[in-house]
């Protein structure tokens, strides 16, 4: 696996809005440029609660990883399209529950690569690695991941908010199938992506995104998101609005659904 922080790191585009940086802005981070903030604010005029929605999807990731590690015994995680570091990254959540957990992050955004050292930390018992790779090349992802993970043992594949960037549905399903085919029985697939089921304004926000930011993004309905789990057993409650997936008991009855839907499946 190549060291992502080298002179070979691609040049960062300061004048083109990028997914990871816009989400970092919504999440209250500091790793973004004026062009990212401009698009982020323009989308907030259409969906004022977008920053809250971004945080809700982050909470979904944390609940998923904790459940997999603490309750289901998963010790290996492959997080593709991880984005910029924030609080409670996958390895931190997993290793709090299971210090021996091993995590491989995958991304190809130059700014994310420049921050890779912030992710390359680990508990003494576990391992954390970072792979510079593209979702369009699942075989390269698997080759790189195999340097840190034992692909003969169960792995949790995380595809959080990334499949919408593969705008052709058949291609997206093919990529997921190629990734999961290499994983053994007892592995898990966890994902979320945006829909326009709850708020039609999401479609307008995506139009702004696609006109000004990179890479493009497509909305899919929950039935299509369920299609990614072909060959997997969906865990209850299925593919649902992210805040409704295993919510904290104290919040049940007070949760507002959002347009990001997600779920978790187990490979028989």
pLDDT by position in tens, the chain (length 268):
333 333 344 555 566 666 677 767 777 777 677 888 877 788 888 877 778 888 899 999 999 999 999 999 999 999 999 877 677 889 999 999 999 999 999 988 776 777 766 667 888 999 999 999 999 999 999 999 999 999 999 999 999 999 999 999 999 999 999 999 999 999 999 999 999 899 888 899 889 888 887 789 999 999 999 999 999 999 999 999 999 999 987 677 678 899 999 999 999 9
In angstroms, the CA 18 to CA 212 distance is: 9
pLDDT computed for residue 6 by the predictor: 37
Strand partners, 241: 261
pLDDT computed for residue 4 by the predictor: 37
Listed in sequence order, the DSSP H helices in 120-260 are 138-145, 169-181, 201-212, 222-227
pLDDT computed for residue 8 by the predictor: 47
Q: Which tokens go with 9?
A: 């790191």
pLDDT computed for residue 11 by the predictor: 58
In angstroms, the CA 252 to CA 217 distance is: 31
In angstroms, the CA 80 to CA 107 distance is: 6
Smallest Cα–Cα separation from 156: which of 93, 96, 57, 75?
Answer: 75
In angstroms, the CA 132 to CA 122 distance is: 18
Smallest Cα–Cα separation from 56: which of 223, 249, 244, 217?
Answer: 244
Residue in this structure with the two tokens 């507002």, named with its chain if needed:
256
């Amino acid at each position: 696996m190549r060291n992502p922080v080298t002179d070979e790191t691609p040049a960062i585009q300061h004048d083109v809005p990028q997914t990871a940086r816009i989400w970092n802005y919504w999440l209250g981070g500091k790793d973004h440029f004026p062009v990212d903030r401009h698009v982020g604010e323009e989308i907030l005029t259409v969906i004022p609660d977008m920053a809250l929605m971004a945080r809700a999807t982050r909470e979904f990731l944390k609940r998923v990883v904790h459940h997999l590690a603490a309750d289901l015994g998963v010790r290996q995680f492959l997080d593709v399209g991880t984005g910029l570091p924030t609080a409670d990254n996958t390895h931190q959540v997993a290793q709090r529950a299971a210090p021996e957990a091993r995590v491989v992050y995958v991304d190809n955004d130059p700014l994310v690569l420049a921050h890779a050292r912030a992710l390359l930390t680990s508990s003494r018992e576990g391992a954390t690695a970072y792979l510079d790779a593209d979702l369009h090349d699942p075989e390269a992802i698997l080759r790189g991941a195999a340097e840190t993970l034992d692909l003969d043992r169960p792995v949790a594949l995380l595809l959080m908010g990334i499949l919408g960037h593969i705008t052709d549905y058949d291609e997206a399903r093919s990529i997921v199938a190629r990734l999961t085919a290499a994983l053994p029985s007892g592995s898990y697939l966890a994902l979320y992506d945006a829909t326009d089921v709850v708020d039609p304004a999401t479609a307008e926000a995506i139009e702004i995104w696609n006109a000004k930011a990179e890479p493009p993004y497509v909305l899919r309905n929950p039935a299509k998101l369920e299609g990614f789990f072909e060959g997997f057993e969906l865990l209850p409650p299925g593919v649902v609005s992210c805040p409704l997936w295993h919510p904290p008991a104290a919040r049940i009855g007070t949760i507002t659904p959002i347009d990001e839907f997600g779920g978790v499946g187990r490979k028989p």
